[in-house]
Homo-oligomer: A and B are copies of this chain.
Amino acid sequence: MRISELAESTGVSVATIKYYLREGLLPPGTKVTDRLSEYDDHHVRRLRLLRALREAGAVPVEGLKGLVAVAEDEEASVHQMFGAACDAMAPPLTDAADPAARELADRLVERAGWSEVRADAPGRDRLADVLAVILGFGRRADPGTTERYLRLVDAIAEFELGIVDADQDRDAMLEQMVIGQVVFGELLLNLRRLAQEHHSALRFDSD
């Protein structure tokens, strides 16, 4: 298909498609003439992925590049692809995390039983950063409460991972992983907000 048809079937403007081509986020089409290229289903799928990421997750262009690089590296295992996708979407912090908070983050990961998380995963520092804010409010949860919360999060993550269909090509799997990470993350937060409104009424509406 032509670039104009590609734009039409994906809802991404021709200007944005040209930008993605320049940035290497979209592989070039097959040249027909000097000024004309043909695009196929692979381009449609990649564009839909990029569009969803920008709409739902506000992933910066650098993050998108990291993601595309992983998808195109045939040597990487699916799990490596997933780890790199996580890092692309949640890049390392510029400042080092507070050491006490980082220690707490590592303890939480251990208590949750997430033994497969890389020791240098940027997510550990990000977790430490949020914990530092919570600790700044002087809040500490008792071990039982923490345990229950970790178990719920674990169930959510295992459930979402289960949706990924392993019997498909790498681009399609990456698409599903990214949807899982970004779009289901948004879904989770939006559902949770509505659920909280409901439970707040049950708990506080008598006053």
Chain A positions within 8 Å of B, measured between CB atoms, are 48, 52, 55-56, 77-79, 82-83, 86, 90, 108-109, 112-118, 121, 123-124, 126-127, 130-131, 133-134, 136-137, 139, 141, 145, 148-150, 152-161, 163-164, 166, 175, 177, 179-181, 183-205, 207
What is the total number of copies of this protein in its complex? 2
Interface of A is mostly: helix
Of B108, B123, B130, B149, the residue contacting A183 (CB under 8 A) is: B130
Chain B residues whose C-beta falls within 8 Å of the C-beta of A183 in the assembled complex: 130, 133-134
Chain B residues whose C-beta falls within 8 Å of the C-beta of A48 in the assembled complex: 136-137
Chain B residues whose C-beta falls within 8 Å of the C-beta of A55 in the assembled complex: 133
A149-B159, A191-B112 known; A196 vs B78 contact (CB < 8 Å):
no
Most buried by B among A108, A137, A139, A179: A137
Of B86, B194, B205, the residue contacting A109 (CB under 8 A) is: B194
Of B56, B108, B192, the residue contacting A133 (CB under 8 A) is: B56
